[in-house]
Structure 1
Amino acid sequence: MGDSVTIDLEEGSSESIDNSHLCLVGKVLASKILNRSAISKIIQSAWKTREEIAVLPWPDNVFLFRFSNLEDRLKVLREAPWSIMGNLLVLQPLKMGCSVSEMDFSFCSFWVQVHGLPMDRLTRRNSQIIAESLGQLIGVEAPHDGLLLHRSFLRIRVKLDISKPIHRGFMMKRKDPNTLNITEKWVDFKYEKLSDFCYDCCRIRHDNKSCKFTRREAGRNSGYGPHLRTGVAPKLNLPVDFIQKQIDEMEARI
């Protein structure tokens, strides 16, 4: 019959202390196995936490990050995504009762800038509509309802399915301001802190050399490229903690 024995194990005991609220689990989407020493040095330099972080290697470029305080953990989540040697680091909370092989690293939150919208379309509601077409809405950079004219673009926090191609933008229908005819206008997406990705198929998990989704000839005309990247937008003088509180509450549930 083989080793088909069922064993009922304890979920916890006096020997174990649940420190999961101080931990994050991260997977580096790299083609080669990275060592803990290199990861630890990069992390300590990039995250700039108040206290030291323990970095524990697990299989297949998965690492456990154990923090000393909640503030450091929240800061790291808030400022995600992060890259390691150009490769995306996908973070998620440590979930008790879940094995490493059961963890899903297919989703990651990004700040997405929406460029090219007419001024009358720079609204909170349009931010929500656009975000929902991309993935799960996490937060909208907006101090109040009405026109969001504090920037020339919308800025939205979206949880993306990174197993799929990221979007370059979309066609928006509008009345031509000169002729009043219905026309279409292209609107660009730009992703803050976007790591290396494939210019052929626009997936984050690999580069052009190892693309299995698009023929090389088609990839050359894909329209994808470094223009999808952009720097982090400067902070605005908005009501204290309004945006950050929104993000913290939403991402704590991811």
Structure 2
Amino acid sequence: MSHLQLALKATNFDGNLSGPEAALAQIPKTCLLGRMVSDRHFGQGYVKNMMKKCWNCKGSFDVTGKGANIFVFQFANKEDKKRIVQRAPWFISNCHLVLKEWPPHLSWEHVDLGGLKPFFFPMLDHKVENLGKTCLWIQVHGLPLHHMNVVNAKLIGDSFAGLLDCQISTEKVLNPKSYIRMKIALWVDKPLLTGFDMLTDDLQKPWVRFKYELLPECFWYCGRLGHAINRCPFKGPSDRAPVYNIPEKDFGP
């Protein structure tokens, strides 16, 4: 017998609630929501101890586990929170920590941190659609010198989920190892892109390669974060990353 899921809706209530309690409404502004992108379990005590070493906060902060590797980080110092967001990405034990602002109009359950579907709440769907992202630094190798500019960095960033920062060194542009360094937004649970074929004036298609800095736990076969070779849930050919028999080192610098 198939499992049936019964949802009962209050038809005599229009969902219009009273205004927020002033003091409680300020709490999300002091918090960040976090998710460990891993199939391993992380306890809140371990997460706090590790991030305490990394963040070096001026004020105190608390960590509350919400289950399924989801955490709420509450900061006593607003500047600590701001600096931590700006300096992302962050990693614990070679696993990626996704950090998001907590929108005051949403419960933490309705924020999509990637990998977990927000609870079914149709009236909020349009407000959570852009929250399943994170960021990583990448290097773009193989571009001709005259294509190494911010405009092209923006175009490349759009092939992910957007460009957040870009560093182009004109002083070292003749270095054989010259590249564009970019901080890009990406969808947490989609395969990592490895590059693209660049169309040239003579219709050749040289390969332009992406190299990820400080790449966390990732299985190169499927190209996804959060698991290794012996724990990959994506076995079918259709679930593979858009690459062909590339070695694991091709994801990193």
Q: TM-score by structure 2 length?
A: 0.76
Is 1:25–2:48 an aligned residue pair? no
Q: Could you tell me how far 1:137 is from its partner in structure 2?
A: 2.1
Q: Secondary structure at the match of 1:101?
A: helix
Does residue 222 in structure 1 map to residue 245 in structure 2?
Answer: yes
The DSSP-based 3-state class of the residue aligned with 1:21 is helix
Instruction: In structure 2, give the amino acid aligned to 1:225.
Output: E
Contact between 1:81 and 1:193, CA under 8 Å: does it hold in 2? Answer: no
Q: In the aligned structure 1, how far is the partner of 2:207 from the partner of 2:32?
A: 38
Q: Deviations over 1:128-171 (max 9, x none)?
A: 1111122222232359xxxx455521122221012211111111
Choose from 134, 158, 164 the match for 1:138.
164
Select 1:127's aligned residue among 136, 153, 158. Answer: 153
Q: Does 1:212 align with 2:238?
A: no
CA RMSD of aligned residues (A): 2.8
Equivalent residue for 1:191? 212
Match of 2:212, as an amino acid?
A: Y
Q: Which moved more, 1:100-109 or 1:150-159?
A: 150-159
SS in 2 for 1:201: coil
Identity of aligned residues (%): 24
Query: Does the aligned pair in 1 maintain the 2:194–2:250 contact within 8 Å?
Result: no
The Cα shift of 1:114 comes to 0.5
Q: Which runs of 5+ in 2 are unaligned?
A: 1-6, 115-132
| Structure 1 residues 57 and 51: CA distance shift in structure 2, 3 A | same
The yes-or-no answer on 1:63 pairing with 2:84 is: no
In 1, are the aligned partners of 2:153 and 2:163 still within 8 Å (CA)? Answer: no
SS of the equivalent of 1:16 reads helix
- Structure 1 length as normaliser, TM-score? 0.76
Which of 129, 134, 137 is the aligned partner of 1:108?
Answer: 134
Check whether the contact 2:44–2:63 (CA below 8 A) recurs between aligned residues: yes
Aligned partner letter, 1:93: E
Match of 1:16 in 2: 24
The separation in 2 between residues aligned to 1:77 and 1:15, in whole angstroms, is 24
Structure 1 residues 71 and 150 mapped into 2: Cα distance closer, same or farther (>3 Å)?
farther
| Structure 1 unmatched runs, 5+ | 176-180, 231-254
For 1:244, the equivalent position in structure 2 comes to none
> Is residue 83 from structure 1 mapped to residue 104 from structure 2 by the alignment?
no
Q: Structure 1, residues 215-239: CA drift from partner, whole Å, max 9, x if none?
A: 59x8996315134224xxxxxxxxx
User: For 1:109, what is the secondary structure of its paired residue?
Assistant: strand
1:171 aligns with 2:197: yes
The one-letter code of the counterpart of 1:228 is F
Work out the CA distance in 2 between the residues paired with 1:75 and 1:12. 28
Which residue type is aligned with residue 229 of structure 1? G
The one-letter amino acid paired with 2:84 is V
> 1:49 — aligned with what?
57
Does structure 1 conserve the Cα–Cα contact (< 8 Å) formed by 2:143 and 2:179? yes
Deviation at 1:54, TM superposition (A): 1.1
Correspondence for 2:122: none
